[in-house]
Amino acid sequence: MIDENELRKLKDIELKLESENHLIAERLKKLNSLKDLGINPYPYRFHQSHHSCELHEKYAHLTAEQHTSDVVSVAGRLIALRKLGKMAFGQIKDNDGKIQVLFNEQDTKDFEQLKLFDMGDYVGVEGIIVKTKTGELTVKCSKFVMLAKSLRPLPEKYHGIQDIEIKYRQRYLDLIMDDKSKNVFVLRSKIIKAMREFLDSKGFMEVETPVLETIYGGAAARPFITHHNELDMKLYLRISLELPLKKLIAGGFEKVYQIGKVFRNEGIDTTHNPEFTMMECYWAYADYNDIMGLIEDCFNHVALKVLGTTKINFMDHEIDLKKPWPKLSMKDAIKQYAGLDVDSMSNEEIISILEKEKIDFREDMTKGQLILKLFDIVEPKLIQPIFITDYPKESTPLCKLNRKDHSLIEQVEPRIAGMEVGNAYSELTDPIRQRYLLEEQAKELRSGLQESNPMDEDFCRAVDYGLPPMGGLGIGVDRMVILLTGAASIRDVLFFPTMKKGEEK
């Protein structure tokens, strides 16, 4: 039994909603009319015997005006309702598609209650399957029930959601109105499933590691900081999956992977969101050459599984993911695509180019760091899949030195459509060098370089116990989804992208 105080508060909410919009006020009247008839407009369950796609497939053989005696029950959101005197045509949208419903005064129980229904309401319908004169598969309704009275009118269907802010802030509305948007997220789910299938088939074991960490590391990024009240200590949201996964290799596992959220306190653009999904895997006794083969096979498997082809159309380019992908060292890529021989250039000459191209840099950067910055000129030109290999050793403290040139490391990044879609190393396993490099990185952090990491003593301790030769890989799942769906921005492939706080529309 609802007490009087709660009833007053419920009425206050109704009045507030009524004041927002006259259409909401009309829907509230219909809601209360349903209640006056003894109808619960928000019932507990409904038996849904079929989805629309099942019915369209099962009854595709029916001809125009053919009736069956098959009784079905369908449910979904009412997205169209056209009343024609003693009959009405509606359209229900469920998880898989749409189906037409015919209501008429003669056959439909409580036909007069249809006037209390609006587009946007969730309804359940029971009836027989027929095909109309125009060949439209239809459920001829014998009875119907309100499953959820919608209080807010949907946007005008022919224009959908034009306001991009609403599209991202109110994703549920975008999904209701735009099947293309919904299909992107269906594909996203299939892409992640296919990636799991691939890694499982290669003998990798899926694991979980903490989201909250006392020490962050594994990437050049600033963390999000939080506080644990009971233990009275600072915690960080992880910026990478790398270090905990390497500890598991130290523990004796030979192939591990994780698909999970990571968090970086950084800017937002078409390929960056502060919260994003990474797949990282580590493979004992492998190096970056083995990992390059794994990357090719992974992208090929996922594309074929989800799209049925390795060819994709992305931003006016036809891109073929079929292996093998070419390999080019970073220095050779700069020479080929920018016409610059960095080995013969001084720091001052590289800085002059960076200033001309308006690329940010620090005056105290080493030549290797300047070369990494210079590569920004090349990145947009790499459209077809390619492996960029052998980065300057300043790129990361977690990678083995190149076995031929110790000014470089055995790092490789797959690039597609002008984007970095992954990062892989022949992982550093020398405990002395690993400790030295992490201590140097910690000094950089103390000196004010915010994207450096603190010293992780526990990780160094794990390496001290011994790591086998190992290849490691991180793939940006969201960027893979962007490529395979042709999305324009990372915001289009995240259900709930990070948005600046503002007034809801």
Q: Both tokens of residue 128?
A: 């027989």
24-46 pLDDT, tens digit per residue, is: 999 999 999 999 999 999 999 99
135-152 pLDDT, tens digit per residue, is: 999 999 999 999 999 999
Domain boundaries, the chain: 9-36, 52-154, 177-326+384-493
pLDDT at 159: 53
Buried b (16+ CB within 10 A) or exposed e, 416-443: bbebebbbbbbbbbebeebbebbeebbe
Confidence of residue 1 (pLDDT cuts 50, 70, 90): low
- For residue 31, the cross-strand partners are none
| pLDDT of 158 strictly over 90 | no
| pLDDT of 502 strictly over 80 | no
Confidence of residue 93 (pLDDT cuts 50, 70, 90): very high
230 and 252 Cβ atoms separated by less than 8 Å? no
Who has greater pLDDT, 455 or 6? 455
| Domain 177-326+384-493 superfamily per CATH | Bira Bifunctional Protein; Domain 2 (3.30.930.10)
pLDDT at 161: 66
Closest CA to 319 of 194, 486, 477, 193: 486
391 and 375 Cβ atoms separated by less than 8 Å? no
pLDDT at 347: 96
| pLDDT of 157 strictly over 70 | no
pLDDT at 428: 98
What's the mean pLDDT when you consider all of the chain?
A: 94
Q: What is the DSSP letter of 96?
A: S
- For residue 327, the cross-strand partners are 387
> Distance (Å, rounded) from C-alpha 252 to C-alpha 470?
12
Residues 6+ apart with CB under 8 A from 340: 334, 353, 374
299 and 480 Cβ atoms separated by less than 8 Å? yes
> Distance (Å, rounded) from C-alpha 294 to C-alpha 202?
9
397 and 441 Cβ atoms separated by less than 8 Å? yes
> Distance (Å, rounded) from C-alpha 45 to C-alpha 213?
42
Give residue 238's Cα distance to chain centre.
Answer: 18
63-76 pLDDT, tens digit per residue, is: 999 999 999 999 99
How distant, in Å, are the alpha carbons of 145, 295, 390 from that of 413?
56, 10, 9
Closest CA to 261 of 271, 274, 244, 248: 274
> Distance (Å, rounded) from C-alpha 422 to C-alpha 410?
14
pLDDT at 2: 65
Q: What is the DSSP letter of 263?
A: E
> Distance (Å, rounded) from C-alpha 287 to C-alpha 134?
63
| pLDDT of 488 strictly over 70 | yes
Q: Both tokens of residue 22?
A: 């006259």
- What phi, psi does 215 have (nearest 5°)? -130, 130
> Distance (Å, rounded) from C-alpha 246 to C-alpha 372?
26
> Distance (Å, rounded) from C-alpha 329 to C-alpha 375?
11
Who has greater pLDDT, 15 or 258? 258
Of the CATH numbers 3.40.50.300, 3.30.1330.50, 2.40.50.140, 1.10.150.120, which one belongs to the domain with range 52-154?
A: 2.40.50.140
137 and 131 Cβ atoms separated by less than 8 Å? yes
Mean pLDDT value of segment 443-450: 92
